[in-house]
Amino acid sequence: MYTQSMDTMGKDGSPDADSRPKAVRSTEEMLLQQRFDARIDDGDFIEAKDWMPENYRKTLTRQISQHAHSEIVGMLPEGNWISRAPTLKRKAILLAKVQDEGGHGLYLYAAAETLGQSRDQLLDALHTGRAKYSSIFNYPTLSWADIGVIGWLVDGAAIMNQVPICRCSYAPYARAMVRICREESFHQRQGYDALLTMMRGTEAQKAMVQDAVNRWWWPSIQMFGPPDDQSPNSAQSMRWGIKRISNDELRAKFIDATVDQARVLGVTLPDPELKWNEARGHHDHGPIDWSEFWRVVGGDGPMNHERLAARVKAWDDGAWVREAASVHARKQTAPAAAAAA
Ligand code: FAQ
């Protein structure tokens, strides 16, 4: 199942660049490259059918598919609490949120497919461990307070990272992000609201919230990725307008915004070195454990095995649905094909 960007004909119906003599192709490609660079410099958006350098296509396929995988793996820690939500209202909200995350995965897989890989290929990379998904979803949800904290911190970090992607140079990704960001904003608020309710409750409820904050704080600030000077993809992605703001800058903005929210909530962020630095215009913070981050990204986090196994099982269990849908689709097209013959 390939998309329009895998067409083998040029826009004018001529064979595509790859089938032309080498010398002609490279001159043409140089011109295409210059035009592409100029469009990026002008802040123009690139569409699926436009010419793009192969590495731009690859980088976007990697980032958008990882993002899609994160959304659907991210449904698992929260899905685990749907049947245990404390009230009908919280259950309805959580159900809607988890469904939203599934929808985000679908928009993002669709955006990634415009770059030429099929959804089956993208999912195969996830299932065989060749593709990454966000480190944050490899931690367990131990109490109901974890659900509130995921909304507040994890969705909060996701919004901080994703609002700039609404201006990503690749238009199908940018367009998908607009709706996703609106929905993430509701997710963040519902999490904060659930925590506010618990913080007005019993001492045991308050302790549960503090415990959840203690466990999720550091993994949440790791979500933004490695420090800028250890981020191999950042420089090129910034040059291409895929990333608009660096990992460290987004992390700093998130920490600044969250400190005030923690104060209103009445919880302590588990970093004794967190302090406003007037000169930098940001909070200073304690050292981030990057060895833990890389261990989790490398597959050795607390829940990596369970998360991947759950996704593979869902895929295997759904085989009959995919098969029935394709048989149905064949039946729909068969009479038309027979009539045309
Ligand atoms: N986890 O050179 P960089 C959500 C990898 S959605 C795992 O800095 P880049 C919604 C990175 O892939 C959350 N791996 O990479 C929700 C690269 O490896 P590679 C997901 C990570 O791409 C909420 C290597 O490290 N959001 O939460 C992580 O320029 C609640 C070097 O790093 C997105 O995907 C990580 N945290 O910057 C759902 C947003 N960080 O591929 C349910 C879009 C880095 O070269 C419930 N993505 N790596 O082998 C991005 O903005 C970027 O891809 C970054 C990483 C910023 C994540």
Instruction: Give yes or no for residue 63 CB within 6 A of ligand 1.
Output: yes
Instruction: Give yes or no for residue 271 CB within 6 A of ligand 1.
Output: no
| CA–CA separation, 189 and 152 (whole Å) | 7
Q: What is the best residue among 80, 98, 106, 132 to mutate for testing ligand 1's pocket, by most ligand atoms within 8 Å of CB?
A: 132
| CA–CA separation, 181 and 118 (whole Å) | 25
Burial class (CB in 10 A: 0-12, 13-18, 19+), 247: buried
Does the pTM surpass 0.75? The reply is yes
Give the pLDDT band of residue 175 (cuts 50, 70, 90).
very high
Chain-centroid distance of CA 207 in Å reads: 31
Q: What is the best residue among 134, 154, 170, 295 to mutate for testing ligand 1's pocket, by most ligand atoms within 8 Å of CB?
A: 134
pLDDT tens for residues 84-140?
999 999 999 999 999 999 999 999 999 999 999 999 999 999 999 999 999 999 999
| CA–CA separation, 335 and 152 (whole Å) | 53
> How large is the average pLDDT for residues 60-86?
98
pLDDT tens for residues 261-303?
999 999 999 999 999 999 999 999 999 999 999 999 999 999 9
Bridge partner residues of 277 (DSSP): 282
Query: What tokens were used for 229?
Result: 């000077």
Instruction: Give yes or no for residue 150 CB within 6 A of ligand 1.
Output: yes
Instruction: Give yes or no for residue 77 CB within 6 A of ligand 1.
Output: no
Pick the atom of ligand 1 nearest to 237's CA.
Answer: 29
Q: What is the pLDDT of residue 320?
A: 97
**CB 285 within 8 Å of CB 255:** yes
Which of 162, 64, 68, 60 has the alpha carbon at shortest distance from 106? Answer: 68
